[in-house]
Chain A
Amino acid sequence: MDLLVIGINHRTAPLEVREKLWLSAEEVRSALPQLRQQWFSECFVVSTCNRTEIYGIPASVNGGSPSLDSVGQFLIDLKAAGATVKLQHLYRLAAEDAIRHLFRVAAGVDSMVVGDVQILGQVREGFALGLEQKTVGIFLNRLLQSTNRVGKRVRSETRIGEGAVSVSYAAVELASKIFEDLTQRSALLIGAGETGELAARHLQGKNIGGLFIANRTRAKAEEVAAALGAHAVDFDSIREKIQEVDIVVSCIGGSGYVLTRDEITDAMKKRLNRPLLVLDLGVPRNVDPSANKIGNVFLHDLDALAGIVRQNIEQRETEVPKAIAIVDEELGKFHAWYSSLEVHPTITDLHRHFEEIRQDEVQKHQNRFSSANDRELLDLVTRRIVNKILHAPTTELRNGSNESDEMKRKRIHIVRTLFGLRKDDPDS
């Protein structure tokens, strides 16, 4: 299959270069018809913060395959990024390499953070824009089905997407390792800065039962609380508040501890020693580290959370070979489907299919014919009927030799779908 991918990603260009080629949905909508008109019979674009890639099947009318220079320059000109982006930042992969690349992207193997779970959705979004602009057809449709399957299998059969890879999400993961149901728990965010807010958002993503925000400046606490749908509380009341909440996320500036060991010990007595998770994301630290010695108090600082992230990334990397094995397996299936779109195997399959139906029906009804001669006649007549029915489609398939490869395969695909000849089809 003559799939072509031309693009830029985090391996070939730094952020300040690749961001220049990032395409919004609107820009993709306007680019697709131009790409189709100039180079491709089918195409779609994937554009994320780490990659912008054009996937397309070259239109044979132009003769030859589109070059990196022509399509790459189109992309650079489209974004007027010539001052920053050079053709050397782009790459071009063709045929099997291009399909393997797409599968690896969907599997999260090619992502900056291995196992990125969002990329499959972003590929689908790119494809949806192609559908909307009518620039994708049978082949890319089938390719997307296989790509989807790769993504889903990799996520269900490997642990490549497991484990938090950001400090703020690691904090939430830690909470889930202590508490069974976060909807029954509440959290206190001390400090209304960006880091704490991100952790609070992750907690809300897990449907935390209650969220309170305390900040030295009450107005700022109220502002963030309004944005998060939380409750602002007085900064002076945090010692009382830790008696009732289950999770404390602290990320506030200034020197000195905002919570001392004695204050937490006192709170633990009042909360009947219920477990308390304290996530100290502040630098310098906001909570006395010796508080971790108190029973049922789980105190973790930035270094500890970074340790979780590091381990999770290592764990994800050990899963890469499993993901690649799935990519290779699905590549094989896709090839099997594509090879089935050859003229001769299809004619053979078509005849075999009709012959099976004929034999089945003859066997069912031959007892109604008493003499051997009648049964022979039945066999002969049904054989002739089948041959006559198949004559036109067989001739039509064979006569397509002057058509482009793509048109021929489209025609075969339609025949195979119409008559249910889907033995080599991975979806069947």
Chain B
Amino acid sequence: MIPLLSYLLPVAYFASVWAYAKAFFRDSLLASRLKTPLLVATVLLHFIYLSLRTVALDHPPITSIPEIMSVISLSIAVGYLVIEFWTKVKNTGYFILILAFFFQLAASLLIQDISEVNPILRSNMLGIHVSAALLGYTAITISAVYGFLYLMLYHNIKSNRFGVIYARLPNLEILERMSSIAIVLGFALLGLAIVIGIVLLPRAFADFSYYDPKLVGTVCIWALYGAGLLAKRSFGWQGRKIMILSIVGFGVSLFSLSIVNVFLSKFHNFY
């Protein structure tokens, strides 16, 4: 059952992405009707898959990079669904869900069933720490996508290009609002992950270091977003500047997650 779901999930995500793309670019009525139910079904399938894995392997699905990727994929899809239901804006799914599809595709191709895991990974506090960090990064990713869409629409309007992007995307203020909400959520969740990391984890790890590159990277990202939020509040930053900040923040996050995780991290690497 678990291997079958593992193969099925990328297909299900692909179907959802296809429906959202067809609805956006081709204006297909059928795809418009199918897209949200397809995504809801995919998310349910994904939830069942991760639950079955947790029960069968007796550990939460955060013990390997492919598992983390699968969790990120699910959080992106759920995050998008929440935004869709909240804002009633249903035509930006393609740009977000394509990320969920690639994360899950990589996860399904690389995932292995590990029964013996580092005992540290069974710690509840670490579970909260990792979950908060993952959700925080997901929020940042979503914020960057909306930031990117904002800039696309901004430049389309500025340069009198009134094509598909102009016709189908919601207005600039809605895109900015969606991105800003995601930034606030990302900032709060990363803050929680950092607090747990700094206050509680030194007790659990003998080789804990405040100079750990991943910790430093995450704090830098958090500070960058914090500075942006402060500038928005105090100096009236809005629109293009804040959207550029969300994309820069995402770029730094990607750097932190990939380069630092693979090459530089010491204690902060369990896989």
Contacts and interface: CB of A to CB of B under 8 A. Distances in A.
Contact of A174 (B157, B236, B237, B241): B157
Interface in B134-186: 153, 157-158, 160, 162-163, 166-167, 171-174, 177
A333 interface: no
A300 interface: yes
B157 A177 contact: yes
A263 B236 CA distance: 20
B240 A176 contact: no
Interface residues of A, number: 24
A214 to B, nearest CB: 25
A178 B171 contact: yes
Given A177-B166, A177-B171, A177-B172, A273 B236 contact: yes
Contacts of A308: 162
B172 A304 contact: no
A178 B167 contact: no
Interface string A259-277: 0000000000000111100
B162 A272 contact: no
A295 B171 contact: no
Nearest to A184: B173
Contact of A176 (B171, B235, B237, B238): B171
Which bucket holds chain B's interface residue count? 20 to 34
B239 interface: yes
Contact of B172 (A157, A163, A178, A295): A178
Interface in B5-58: 27, 29
A176 B241 CA distance: 21
Contacts of A295: 239-241
Interface in B248-266: none
A63 B160 CA distance: 62
A159 B27 contact: yes
Q: Which of B173, B237, B238, B240 has the most CB of A within 10 A?
A: B173
Given A275-B172, A296-B240, A180 B157 contact: no
A311 interface: yes
A179 interface: yes
B157 A178 contact: yes
Contacts of A273: 236-239, 241
B5 to A, nearest CB: 36
Nearest to B173: A180
Interface in A278-308: 292, 295-296, 298, 300, 304, 307-308
Interface in B116-138: none
B239 A272 contact: no
B239 A275 contact: yes
B157 A163 contact: no
A318 B166 CA distance: 17
Interface in A158-199: 159, 163, 174, 176-181
A145 interface: no
Interface of A: 157, 159, 163, 174, 176-181, 272-275, 292, 295-296, 298, 300, 304, 307-308, 311, 315
Nearest 10 A/B pairs, CB to CB: A272-B236, A180-B173, A304-B160, A308-B162, A177-B171, A178-B172, A296-B239, A180-B174, A311-B162, A298-B157
Interface of B: 27, 29, 153, 157-158, 160, 162-163, 166-167, 171-174, 177, 235-241
Given A177-B153, A177-B157, A292-B158, 20 more contacts: A174-B157, A178-B157, A178-B173, A179-B172, A179-B173, A180-B171, A181-B173, A272-B235, A272-B236, A273-B239, A274-B236, A274-B238, A275-B172, A275-B239, A295-B239, A295-B241, A298-B157, A304-B160, A307-B160, A308-B162
